[in-house]
Amino acid sequence: MCDNHCSNFIMETKFLILKLTSTKKFPKSTTTQVSNDETFRLMENNIRAIRKRRGLTQEQVAELTGGTKGQISKLENGGLQLGMNWMEKLARALDVEPFELIASKSPIVRVPLIGWVSAGQLAMTHEVDINDLADCPQIECHGVDERRCIALEVKGDSMNLVAAEGSTIIVDVSQKDMSDGKYYVVATNGGEATFKRFRASPNRLEPVSTNPVHEIIFPQTELRVIGRVIRVMQDL
């Protein structure tokens, strides 16, 4: 069984994330002067942010792409058109998909991967010391509030039509009011947890799987809602 750290961890996660993470703002568009004195709106992209996360200099990216430092600088600033040829070269150099280079309406944020959750019957969650949350691996994603979210790896195939085993789910721990048809991570007071679709009248937790062995769970003990699953991330 989990010790007090494990059982208290889930209840305190929301407050810990608020303390340990900060909101990142997406850089705004600016204007610059070109040689013919015409000003133009810069094309926003994620090249600089991704390059810095990879720990690379402009010179290193230039060498990897066969370009020059000046070209990389202009690409980052929007002074050089980011065509398909450059997108493919930069994607290989930065080890990302080409679409990740294009600006998103939301910033790239990092969410702590705190362990795993069962996509089967209620199972013991991976124990994590709440004091180590800041040292957890980080998952990069768009469009979520990192102050309220955690990431969990899925184990089991009872939800494989939604999230395959080995995929990662993003859980918003601020959303604890359960709505029919939504997906949640719930836990018992003993620290056991599962990821399922909630159905009301009567309250039950449904698998969404190709495996017929999995059955609907009708909770026999009080369950606590960890949060609502708002995203599934997996490699193809």
Per-residue pLDDT at 40 exceeds 90: no
Residue 224: which CATH number? 2.10.109.10
| Higher per-residue pLDDT: 38 or 91 | 91
Are residues 152 and 81 part of one domain? no
Q: Which stretches within the chain are classed as H helix?
A: 4-20, 47-53, 58-65, 69-77, 84-94
Are residues 77 and 14 part of one domain? no
Are residues 120 and 212 part of one domain? yes
Strands (E), 96-142: 108-118, 123-124, 138-142
Instruction: For CA atoms 127, 129, 130, 133, give the dihedral sign.
Output: negative
Are residues 164 and 121 part of one domain? yes
Per-residue pLDDT at 196 exceeds 80: yes
Per-residue pLDDT at 55 exceeds 50: yes
Element (H, E) at 28: none
Residue 81: which CATH number? 1.10.260.40
Are residues 198 and 219 part of one domain? yes
Are residues 130 and 15 part of one domain? yes
* Closest to 13 measured CA to CA, from 111, 79, 99: 111
**Domain total for the chain?**
2
**Residue that is last in its domain, among 101, 123, 149:** 101
Which of 19-28, 37-46, 179-188, 217-226 is least confident? 19-28
**pLDDT, average across residues 126-130:** 47
Instruction: Give tens-digit pLDDT for 59-84.
Output: 999 999 999 999 999 898 877 888 88
Instruction: Give tens-digit pLDDT for 153-170.
Output: 999 999 999 888 999 999
Are residues 139 and 49 part of one domain? no
Are residues 129 and 63 part of one domain? no
| Domain encompassing residue 97 | 31-101
Are residues 95 and 164 part of one domain? no
When pLDDT is cut at 50, 70 and 90, the band that residue 129 belongs to is: very low
> Which neighbouring-strand residues pair with 32?
40
What is residue 145's three-state secondary structure?
coil
Are residues 143 and 86 part of one domain? no
The pLDDT, as a whole number, for residue 121 is: 61
Are residues 212 and 146 part of one domain? yes
Are residues 157 and 131 part of one domain? yes
**Residue that is last in its domain, among 61, 85, 101:** 101
**Residue that is last in its domain, among 59, 83, 101:** 101
